A and B are shown apart, each in its own frame.
Chain A
């Protein structure tokens, strides 16, 4: 147990409010504009006023990554809303995208802030314009000197492994060899996402998709095809993290933070992690279950990162919803992961069809399901009850974080 004899301090935190900006392809709006829109909606949803907000947190902010990836920095958002902050934090290193949520939980537990706006904003669709999805390093060319690369990128870019899809294709191929994973099984992640997106009026891709449609898609990096890759979009998602003492005053009720998964025990590397088939998801998941008495069988709904379909397969095993190497047979036919299945999965369409809101769309949907505000896609468990426990995972590869949320206090 990694709580060192204390109550897990994250349990003092709740998600008290949710906000999302317009979400779409090529909205042509600035990241700050979308963020402010989502912040205003989240503050209102939590029944708060701007003056109540005293914390601000994001992933990653401040110019990180390819164009449209980073979202506005916390100083920009602080100034745009003239927030009076007792605590603020941003950055791209930590337990996946949800590091921004986890640090906010710890800030409210420590008394550094009462109500934290936590945002993740992407404008990748507008940034890409009519061009394709960029590789890391841009792909060079065009004369004028091609840049050279240091750090971890030097070990992959020279060989044309310039995107996470290449790095994760290696994971997928390995799983096909080691566990007899098939494309038909992998395709269930994409087909399930599209089916659920059809029930989500805000999803990016809603037209029906069959397994045959999936199998006919063009390859990006074998065995991963276009439909194994998430859909770049523009949008901002905000959650308000508050101290649990505020729960009775939250108009939509609280989503209680039960446990967070933050561990990184193997090598933090795309190609050196010792077990190619699991990577950091294994560590984050293990550390989360070490912090709670809840078990995988208690989870009513799962929102597991699907930047690429293969990551969802990895998370299904890492979080213990099935055994190692068994995620292929677990998703076979799609029944287990459907809205009325054993483990309803990525119920808003995930990132594959809902849009690449980069982890936060999944957190948002987990809260909506716990709040029984899922509309047409609301999950009902046996006896007609709405979900009590939701698991969320962000990232995969060498960076991973997980979160267990409950409708009742832990």
Chain B
């Protein structure tokens, strides 16, 4: 059995640019900024759309479904007391160049493969909701 993450979560410092993202999971939904001009999703949050340079960006709910682009099982004790855990790199099904580094949870490494579809599940830590990814709930 691998763990769902390190023994201690190092958390982001919330600010006006990233707060919407890191607190989005409060209602169980994942959000990214969407450009109202060119319609692209944007990550990480930026003051203008990096695609078309328009200024009007709004957080928008996405499906929370993603594709595993790569993964690794960390064994090194960077954070004392940690059991092995899976770091995943996933891309959003809505837009493949929007990626998140995350943990793949409630799944064993031998059941993970690049290209598999996963779904977001949030882990609440202090004022942060970390987006983690696991098996599709419809298949769980």
Contacts and interface: CB of A to CB of B under 8 A. Distances in A.
Interface string A338-367: 000000000000000000000000000000
Interface residues of B, number: 42
A244 to B, nearest CB: 41
Contacts of B44: 152, 155
Nearest to A171: B70
Interface residues of A, number: 46
A149 B12 CA distance: 5
A35 to B, nearest CB: 29
B109 A154 contact: no
Nearest to A273: B99
Nearest to A155: B101
B130 to A, nearest CB: 5
Contacts of A166: 72, 74, 87
19 contacts: A132-B76, A132-B77, A139-B78, A140-B79, A148-B10, A152-B44, A158-B128, A159-B6, A159-B101, A165-B76, A166-B72, A170-B70, A170-B72, A171-B70, A173-B70, A177-B113, A218-B75, A220-B76, A271-B101
Interface of A: 132, 134-135, 137, 139-141, 146-150, 152, 154-163, 165-167, 169-174, 177-178, 218-224, 270-272, 274, 276
B41 to A, nearest CB: 12
B136 interface: no
Nearest to B103: A159
Nearest to B78: A135
B107 interface: no
A276 B74 contact: no
Contacts of B8: 139-141, 146
A170 B112 CA distance: 13
Interface of B: 5-6, 8-15, 18, 43-44, 69-80, 82, 85, 87, 89, 97, 99-103, 109, 113-115, 128, 130, 132
Contacts, number: 134
Given A135-B79, A140-B10, A149-B12, A156 B18 contact: no
Contact of B89 (A146, A160, A224, A271): A271
A134 B14 CA distance: 25
B74 A221 contact: yes
A146 B79 CA distance: 12
A151 to B, nearest CB: 9
A154 B18 contact: yes
B15 A150 contact: yes
Nearest to A224: B72
A8 B139 CA distance: 59
Nearest to B6: A160
Contact of A161 (B11, B75, B101): B101
Greatest chain B CB density within 10 A among A152, A154, A157, A167 is at: A154
A148 B26 CA distance: 20
A27 to B, nearest CB: 25
